[in-house]
Structure 1
Amino acid sequence: MAADLAGGAAVGAVFGELLGGVVAASKTVAIFRETWKELASILSSIKPVIEQIESFNKLFDKEQETKQLVEIIGKGQKLVGKCCKVRSWDLIRKIYYVQKLHGLSKSIERFCLIDMQTHQTRDMKMMLVEIGRLSSKEGSNNGNGVVVGSCKAPQPPEIVVGFDEPLNDLKLKLFKDGVSVIVVSGPGGSGKTILVKKLCQDEHVKEKFDCKIFYFNVSKTPNLEVILKRLLHVIDPAGVPEFQSEEDGLNQLKDKLEHLAMNCMLLVLDDVWSGCETLVDKLMFNLSNYKILVTSRSSFRRFDAYYLKPLNDDNAMTLFRHSAFLQNDRRCIPEDVVNKVMESCKGLPLALAVVGKSLCGQPVAMWRKQAKQHSKGLSILHSNADLLAYLESSLDTLDSQSELKDCYLDLGSFPEDHRIPAAALIDMWVELYELDEDDAIINLNKLSDRNLINLVLVRKDDQSEVDDCYNDLFVMQHDLLRELAIYRSGLDPVEKRERLIVELSGNNLPNWWLEEKKQQLGARLLSVSTDETFSFNWGYIQAPEVEVLVLSFRTRNYMLPVFMEKMDKLKFLILMNDGIYPTEVTNFWLLYSLSNLKRIRLEKVSVPSLDMCSLHLKSLRKISLVMCNISQAFEKGTNKMSDVFPNLSEIEIDYCDDLVELGEGLCDLVQLVKLSITNCHKLRTLPEGIGKLVNLDVLRLTSCTELATLPETIGNLSRLTILDISDCLSITYMPSRIGELHNLKKLYMRGCSGCNLPPIITKLQHLEEVICDEETAYKWESFQSYLPNLRVTVPEENINLDWLQIFM
């Protein structure tokens, strides 16, 4: 039966058959009733997600990935049939089959929580840069290193007020013949994106366009190449989206739309900025029932427009009260004060939400202050003092905490719509404000509590946070709040600003940059972002006070600016590639001239051999490499790596797909205290010389799914206190010298149920906690009597896989 199922049956169908069989058995076979109920509960909770994943697998020809689950279900169906034959008096067989049913439950849970998560991790290893927009199942690697993301329209917020009439009006305009492009315009924060998201979920719209609705967030710097690659891949999943030029890509898209009967289609371009009308022009095709819907703060006069009006008073009050008052809030705020504050927002949804949240839980005096201070007004941030004042009022509580306000203002140094890694912010604040890491993460939570940022945790793991691991924590910020940070940072003259944020489009350098008589800049934080049209004619600026430099770019090749060489106080450098492919960086040697550099973070960069220079970075403490090509980085070269980096104490390597084995050169860094290698799915071996890292305190190898063994020399790491091999699925045996890790206090083994524990494990007398899954916990039971201080922790698992929705 299992073989027949694996031969092609739909997993959703056989899953439903198993669930139906369990439910039926629970009504007729009383001897297993409680076990039936438990199993039925598990099957019911994951069935919708399994069916959704199956549909994605069919779309992208990945049905083989659920073959193992189909086999488990086939065995389960046989087991249910056998259980139904057990007599009520046969206690021995009852005990035997109860254990078998529990084993079935565990097998299904393990597949969903480990195997399926591994598939998700593989599909998402290039997604951190665009993590909010890419889909774990609709996004995939096409074999050329090109990540093709989701085109699925996001869901609107749970509470949407006052959009029924605009929705109907927009639908009538959209369904009208002869209209090919519609621009939904209005001020920032008026709800354009919410309206369009709601429209994309409307059943009449889905029926009209046969569910062929593709959504893109465009923002200030549109990338037509990414849009074309995603569309071509979604329309023809079997094909590899390659083209020589934009024109070639557009021609391919038009041909596929015509030949694959996809001319019935709605393309949504959200947040198109003024001056980007050409993007719409390029994507216009003369096809029947093919339409483009645009949202923009600007009115594009050449296209049909729908202007989004403010909310009326009733709807505005409903939205405002939802934001300003908790469900059981019994405080008595005078009705006239509530009305005045609400009316001053002029029906602007964002202002209503931001102002409401800023007053939520505040005393009456704060409400009265708001009602008195701000006049009535309606506009976007930079053209209306009232909305600016309201947004700035959310910073009032930061006035007495200058350090926290500085942390908020620093957020403007990252690109728009970018999920900011919490680890990057923590490193930044440690260097700028001499904070320790705990203070930095506290500041993040304070900003989140004030609704100035949103913290997004990709994978819930409270234990990792305890051990200062923040790889899965990201920061999101609304565009207007980011603009507020930039606005506040730019109030002083250029030469006196604490932080200088420069966004370069093409070669349009600001006037102060081009002045012949250069004034020294006093900025401690400098952020320079460039687009794909920048030609690296950097010129020269004098910025000797810069301590943190953020360089973001979107090109296949990038030249570091020569003026970096004079940044003698630079402590932290971030190179951040927002493009598709890893970037080749020239002038890399400049890094070795920065004598005070303590931290380097590289994202999606091809890293050359790190010991290529005879200069020494004596101050460097930490290197972070995310989604980089690093196969050559740690190869043993002419210079000893410990001479080049004599004080390097921490290395983080995350989602580096080309890492198959670590070079022995890394083992020269005997001063390392922390080594973290996570989500590197092709890593197969660690160097035997890893035992030289005698000062290592933390070793993380999370989700290195192909890593088969740990070297025996790991026994030399006498100072190791934390070892994490979670989701290293290929490790089946611990090294025989594992018992020599006498200072090991914490061991992470989630997803390591296939790993056998040797008897020598009893030598780990200082081991305090093992964090693992339930199956692995059973293996530790026999050792706990020998390890009296040991606590085995099984974190609660999310059986219904709600965490998947973050990536869909």
Structure 2
Amino acid sequence: MADVTFIWDLVKEAMAIVGKSLEYKSTRKNLESAVRDLSPRLEKIEQAMRQMDLPTEHIEKLKEKLAENKEALGKHKIRWWSCVLAPYSQTKLDEGLTSLERLISVETQILMLQHLTDILSILSSQGHRPLGGPTNSAHDTYNAGTTQIFKDHLDDGHSQFTVGLNGDSMKGLKRKLLHGEEQVLNLYGLPGSGKTTKARKLCLDLQVKGKFKSNVIFETLGSQIQGNELICKLQDQLSKYGENAVLLVLDDVWPHSENMVDKLRLRSSESRILVTSRAQIRTVKARFPMDLLCKEDAEKLLRHFVRSSDIDFDEPERRKILLQIVDGCEGLPLAIEFIGGKLRGKDIEAFQKVQLEWSRGDSILDSHTELLGHLQNTLNLLVDESIMECFMDLGLFPEDHKVPITALIDMWIELYELNESRGIDAIIFIKELVAMNLAAGIKIRRIVGMDVDNYYNNDFLMQHDLYRELAIRISEQEPVEKRRRLIIDMSNDPPKGWPQQQQSLAASILSISTDKMVAPGWCNNIQAPDAVVLILNLNTAEYTLPEFIKEMGGLKVLIVTNCGFCTSDLRNLELLSSLLSLKRIRLQQVSIPSLCDLKNVQKLSLHMCQVKNAFENTSIDFSKAMPKLEDLSIEYCKDLVKLPTGLFNIVALKSLTVSNCHQFIGLPEDIEKLENLKTLRISYCANIEEMPESITKLKSLSLLDISFCVSLKKLSEEISKLQSLTKLYVTGCPVRALPDSVMGFEKLESVICDEYAFSFWEVIKLRFSGLNIKVATMDISLNWLS
């Protein structure tokens, strides 16, 4: 019998030949090379398969494809007199090379894996135990059963066809499994994203089987597994392998079963445990996200599930219909399987109907109530009520929009009565959402070490489109007048069940999206006296606050975000003066014409706004307009030159942030009046050359951040007078020497600086034994909250 690995090596060589051909520019030359080099290898593969009495129909199909391409090479030979036909011939040769690649890289791999699995199963049933397997006869039976699991999986018509599992994520997971030091690995992702399929495919990988032989245990846990019975069973099975390397796959592990992993003991350092889960297992260091499908792979998968022989989806118009359906599935294999099953065997009109519904803005969740129910039931089992509420709140923001962490903190503190101090409880909820894959954490920029200060102004969440749709659908399961969250898109028709006359609504959260094509004023019927949060998502050059806002007596949080490319002129701000409960305002990418009285506002956040008119061309005294202001944050405001008149008379102010405002010239001497100021962040402001000496009179200041003020070359000579200062961040400041007074600090605990300045501060440690000095490093990545 021929060596089974010999066939697979030949297949891999064939794949490499075609893959290499696709990388070069000259299509004709590459196709000639592929035809020439593939022919002898196919002969060898066919000969080996005949010796093993395996079917060779697929090899015959490959040989026919080679013959077709050889004929095409002769037919589409370009001469000087037929050069006008070059584009046509190029296209035909490209098609031949691409179809050959698809046949080699997809169908041949699947077929060969199936043959290999059949052979391994036969060998196992005949008592041929691979090297390194356990000698216990009972365990030989168990391993035969485990191998049979993979065979059944490959023979199943739905699971046999796989796409998108050989990318960088798979390579990284495999590399860690074979060569990494961590014994436990975690593959996590959305339900229905293909984690189980990927784990099974990994178990069938030849290199993985070469390391673990037949010592593979695949156990599915699910939501119902609890207690120690399974742990004892698995530990007993593991012990029978002795010192041999074992691969234990724990599939579909839910949060309440996470502790199982810590209780299992592996005898061999080469053994591994692979855990698949819907949420990250944060006690495991090696974690790998399950990627959703790219458009190309999603199309392949949908074609597989549709299985239509009567519709030519390569015809341009029909493929356009198919691709729009693919887009609606958002790369989630579960959604593709749902829609593919519904359309299987249907005529083109059924596809056009789905395309038409989705082009109008309908979602796959509209037409697939069973998919909606499946995902909703999964959420109900996976998260508690408080996390579910926070999950649905993400649907209040526009699609593909980065949701500011600080906006969520402001909302949740007021909605759910969370810990007011720095929004600690809100951050816990956010981390749970990220861990459950219900959102992805994104940081634009962060200096390592500053996260302990709970500074999240540059941090955002993004939600997968399908999960955003799910959050909205769950919110809309109640009648309009009873909904807790009322989500209104004014560019579309009124929602189903929208009141035709003025009616009081029970919503505590109101989200309104509008663009320049605003529909008729059907939102004038809104009465939301109990609303706590109002979110306005704009995509228009100007926007006038609607009159009904002045009737929202219970409003505590206002978030206005312009999602367009240009700044939006915000008008009618004086309406806010009547809202005595309003405590928190966040404005993003809007132009503020003037200030108004906001007597009870405690926090004001201005992000990418135009503030010059409101701050400089006004006679309003800031301290009288907002006497209770405690937190002012001004970031990425390009026209900010100086802070508004009267700001430094606000005794209540505790935190002041000015960041990435490159025209800002600096702080005035009046800053000494802020006797309760605890946090001062003046960062990424290129024009600031010095800090006022009066800053040393801020007796309550505990944190000073002057990072990346690149023109600031020295610290105040009397800086040690900041007797409450515990944290000082000076990264990116060209300070070449420290004033002698730094030895006079009494409470300084932490300094973050550049590498060149580290030696300056090291000397200070002789005076302060508990001083922690860190060299700054920038951290920009996804899933930062994990």
TM range (shorter): 0.5 to 0.7
TM-superposition CA deviations, 1:327-360 (whole Å, max 9, x none): 999662289x99xxxxxxxxxxxxxxxx969799
Match of 2:514 in 1: 530
What SS does the corresponding residue of 1:700 show, helix, strand or coil?
strand
SS at the partner of 1:441? Answer: helix
**What's the secondary structure of 1:465's corresponding residue?**
helix
Aligned to 1:131: none
Q: CA deviation at 1:722?
A: 0.2
Confirm whether residue 432 of structure 1 aligns to residue 423 of structure 2: no
1:359/1:642 CA distance change after superposition, 3 Å: closer
Deviation of 1:381 (Å): 2.1
Which residue of 599, 603, 614 corresponds with 1:618? 599
Q: What is aligned with 1:725?
A: 706
- Corresponding residue to 2:471 among 462, 472, 485: 485
Residue in structure 1 matched with residue 545 of structure 2 by the alignment:
560
- Output one character per residue of 1:349-372: Cα deviation in whole Å (capped at 9) or x when no partner: xxxxxx9697997799x999xxxx
Name 2:720's counterpart in structure 1. 739
Structure 1 residues 708, 331: CA separation in 2 closer, same or farther (over 3 Å shift)?
Answer: farther
Contact 2:567 2:591 in 1 (8 A): yes
- The question of 1:600 aligning with 2:600 is answered no
Instruction: Look up the match of 1:572.
Output: 557
Is the partner of 2:614 in helix, strand or coil? coil
Corresponding position of 1:333: 220
* Shift in alpha-carbon separation, 1:705–1:388, aligned structure 2, 3 A: same
What is the TM-score with the length of structure 2 in the denominator? 0.55
2:399 counterpart letter in structure 1: E
Aligned equivalents of 2:552 and 2:25: distance in 1? 56
Q: 2:677 corresponds to which letter in structure 1?
A: L
Percent identity over the alignment is 39
Question: What code does the residue aligned with 1:410 have?
Answer: D
Does residue 1:321 correspond to 2:196, yes or no? yes
2:380 is aligned to 396
Match for residue 457 of structure 1?
A: 443
Alignment of 1:12-51 (within 5 A): none
Query: Matches of 1:648 and 1:409 in 2, distance apart?
Result: 30
1:713–1:737 contact (8 Å) kept in structure 2: no
Shift, 1:385, TM fit: 2.8
User: Which of the pair has more CA radius of gyration?
Assistant: 2
Distance in 2, Cα, partners of 1:408 & 1:204: 47
Aligned to 1:384: 368
Q: Secondary structure at the match of 1:581?
A: coil
Query: Residues 701 and 725 of structure 2 are in contact (CA less than 8 Å); yes or no, is this contact kept in structure 1?
Result: yes
CA–CA distance in 2 between the matches of 1:438 and 1:206? 59
Give the conservation status (yes or no) of the 8 Å contact 1:498–1:525: yes
CA contact (8 A) 2:255 2:382 kept: no
The residue type paired with residue 500 of structure 1 is: L
Structure 2 distance, partners of 1:663, 1:641, is 7
1: CA distance, partners of 2:257 / 2:195: 14
Offset of residue 421 of structure 1 = 0.9
Equivalent position amino acid for 2:219 in 1: C
Query: In 2, Cα distance between the equivalents of 1:205 and 1:415?
Result: 42
Residues 733-788 of structure 1, C-alpha deviations (whole Å, 9 max, x = no match): 11233221110000011122435321122222211111112111112233333334
Q: How does 1:331-370 map to 2 (within 5 A)?
A: 332-333=219-220
How far residue 670 of structure 1 moved from its aligned partner, in angstroms, is 2.2
Q: Which residue of 2 aligns with 1:706?
A: 687
Contact 1:572–1:597 (CA<8 Å) still a contact in 2? yes
Q: Which residue of 2 aligns with 1:768?
A: 749
Contact 1:752 1:776 in 2 (8 A): no
Go from structure 1 to structure 2 and tell me whether the alpha carbon gap of 1:206 and 1:664 turns closer, same or farther (over 3 Å shift).
farther
Show CA shifts across 1:64-110 (max 9, x none): xxxxxxxxxxxxxxxxxxxxxxxxxxxxxxxxxxxxxxxxxxxxxxx
In structure 2, the partner of 1:188 is none
* Per-residue CA distance 1:402-432 (angstroms, 9 max, x = gap): 2211111111000001011111111111111
Question: In the alignment, which residue of structure 2 is the partner of 1:445?
Answer: 431
What is the correspondence of 1:235-254 to structure 2 with a 5 Å cutoff? none
CA distance in 1, matches of 2:27, 2:471: 43
Mapped partners of 1:804, 1:333: distance in 2: 29
Call closer, same or farther: CA 1:671–1:203 in 2, change over 3 Å: farther
Aligned residues: 476
Secondary structure of the residue that 1:699 maps to in structure 2? strand
Deviations 1:492-538, CA, capped at 9 Å, x for gaps = 111111111111216x444655612x221000000000122116835
Q: Displacement, 1:322?
A: 5.7
| Residue 474 (structure 1) aligned to one of 460, 465, 484 | 460
Q: Within 2, Cα distance between the matches of 1:720 and 1:572?
A: 27
SS at match of 1:446: helix
Contact preservation (8 Å) 2:441, 2:783: no
> 1:378 & 1:459 partners in 2: Cα distance?
39
Question: Residue in 1 aligned with 2:764?
Answer: 783
Aligned AA (1:524): S
Structure-2 residue corresponding to 1:421: 404
Q: Which runs of no fewer than 5 residues in structure 2 stay unpaired?
A: 1-14, 29-89, 92-155, 166-193, 204-211, 226-250, 261-274, 278-333, 340-363
Contact 2:588 / 2:606 at 8 angstroms: preserved in 1? yes
Q: Is the 8 A contact 1:376 1:386 kept in 2?
A: no
Quick one: structure 1 residues 357 and 389, their matched pair in 2 at CA, closer, same or farther if it must change by over 3 Å? farther
Check conservation: 1:634, 1:665, Cα contact below 8 A: no
The partner residue of 2:533 within 548, 553, 556 is 548
Deviation at 1:648, TM superposition (A): 0.7
Aligned with residue 628 of structure 2, among 647, 655, 677: 647
1:78-477 mapped onto 2 (5 Å cutoff)? 203=23, 312-316=158-162, 319-321=194-196, 332-333=219-220, 378-379=338-339, 380-397=364-381, 401-436=384-419, 437-477=423-463
CA–CA separation in structure 1 for the residues paired with 2:553 and 2:157? 53
Given the alignment, which residue of 482, 487, 493 partners 1:496?
482
The worse-fitting range, judged by mean Cα deviation, of 405-414 and 460-469 is 460-469
Sort the Cα spacing of 1:804 and 1:564 in 2 relative to 1 into closer, same or farther, 3 A. closer
CA RMSD of aligned residues (A): 3.9
- Give the gaps of 5 or more residues in structure 1: 1-167, 169-197, 209-287, 290-309, 339-354, 369-373
How far apart, CA to CA, are the structure 1 residues paired with 2:390 and 2:198? 25
Return the TM-score normalized by structure 1.
0.54
CA distance in 1, matches of 2:746, 2:496: 66
Matches of 2:686 and 2:552 in 1, distance apart? 41
Partner Cα distance (2:774, 2:162) in 1: 48
Ranked by relative contact order (alpha carbons within 8 Å, sequence separation 6 or more), the top structure is 1
Paired letter, 1:553: L
Shift of 1:563: 0.3
- Helix, strand or coil at the partner of 2:656: strand
| CA pair 805-782 structure 1, distance change in 2 beyond 3 A | same
* Superposed counterparts of 1:58-97, under 5 Å: none
